[in-house]
Amino acid sequence: MSTHTTDDVAAGVSATRRGLGICVTPLETRRDVILHVARRAEDLGYDGFFLAEGWSQDAAVLLTEIATRTERITIGTGVLSVWGRTAGTLAMLAASLDQVSRGRFVLGLGASSPQLVEGLHDQSFTAPVAKLRAVTAQVRRLLDGERVLPTATHDHRPLRLGVAARTGLPIYLAGLGNKSIQLAGELADGWTPFLVPRSWLPRGIDLLQQAGARSGRTTRPLVCPAVPTAVAADQATAREIASWWIAFYLTSMGSLYRRSLSERGYHHPVEAVLAGNPTHDTTDVPAAAHVLLDELTVWGTPDTAHDHLQHWYTSGAEMPILTLPPHRTVAELDYMLDTMRPHP
């Protein structure tokens, strides 16, 4: 069990206001754009920049470059698959990036998806929550200066890291299902779900608290939902981007998000999106599914988008991570960053 608390500096949240982070998805493969967004986010006062890893760029390599080009902003993996590296490699990655960034690193981990685990890493996607638990606990041990806890009989002595990691280096977990959320409540310093309904967020926080209490924790993880963002000067463009987020992830990213949303009371809107996009090459969100735009994203023109963000805070988010859409121009991304910039 983790005994660490998430201090305000490590989490990237000041003591005087609520936090706000920025994230880009694995679909954003333009290295120059990723670097630009990270630097721009720091200039505008965002608290954290998080980089997801999927099947394109190596997040650790890009975050190393970002660490050398920024001074203040927290940087983190948002998230790394626990199937893509061993616990030892993840711990070395975290300790090294924390050194390069001078104590600004957050290690975000997740159980990933069957498509990535089997289609890219050539491993069988079995017992993902157990895998996430085992890897997280092993990484925590190594970052705390302890030796690897053997899971099988070996001839050689278990090792510890050859460098000392920062005490309490934060680990965030991207739990989406109830069991993985409870795991975050037991072991993590932050909870970073993606495509979780805003109105369901308080229930997720309850699960964090209950699991933490059962395991003896006195604090719960920082609540940092990664929220798809679609902000534009005109409503039609903003709606088009927001609709892309919903339609793409429900039709093209396997069954994970469809199942999760259906289990949380959105079966009919999910089915409406699937029926409206039968060939997976459209991005229509029909009227019967418009509730998903407000429940899953921050979208609209500047005034309405800020209202949507406020609703996330009201629902319990402590550092929402605005997730920028891929394939948009730098001017569009800068507009979103400038519009949503945090205010002291």
Please give the chain's pLDDT, 344 residues, in tens.
333 334 443 444 434 458 999 999 999 999 999 999 999 999 999 999 999 998 889 999 999 999 999 999 999 999 999 999 999 999 999 999 999 999 999 999 999 888 888 888 888 889 999 999 999 999 999 999 999 998 887 889 999 999 999 999 999 999 999 999 999 999 999 999 999 999 999 999 999 999 999 999 999 999 999 999 999 999 999 999 999 999 999 999 889 999 999 999 999 999 999 999 988 777 889 999 999 999 999 999 999 999 999 999 999 999 999 999 999 999 999 999 999 999 86
- Please tell me the predicted confidence (pLDDT) of residue 7: 47
> How far is C-alpha 320 from the geometric centre of its chain's CA atoms?
10
Q: Which of 313, 304, 176, 296 has the alpha carbon at shortest distance from 242?
A: 296
Q: Which residues of 31-45 are buried (b: 16+ CB within 10 A; e: fewer)?
A: eebbeebbebbbebe
pLDDT digits (tens, 9 = 90+) for 144-194: 999 999 888 788 999 999 999 999 999 999 999 999 999 999 999 999 999
pLDDT digits (tens, 9 = 90+) for 45-65: 999 999 999 888 999 999 999
- How far is the C-alpha of 329 from the C-alpha of 314, rounded, in Å? 31
- Six-digit token string for 93: 């990655």
8-233+298-339: CATH architecture: Alpha-Beta Barrel (3.20)
Report yes or no: 163 and 99 within 8 Å, Cβ to Cβ: yes
Q: Which of 20, 7, 112 has the alpha carbon at shortest distance from 298?
A: 20
- How far is the C-alpha of 99 from the C-alpha of 63, rounded, in Å? 12
- Please tell me the predicted confidence (pLDDT) of residue 17: 55
> How far is C-alpha 298 from the geometric centre of its chain's CA atoms?
15
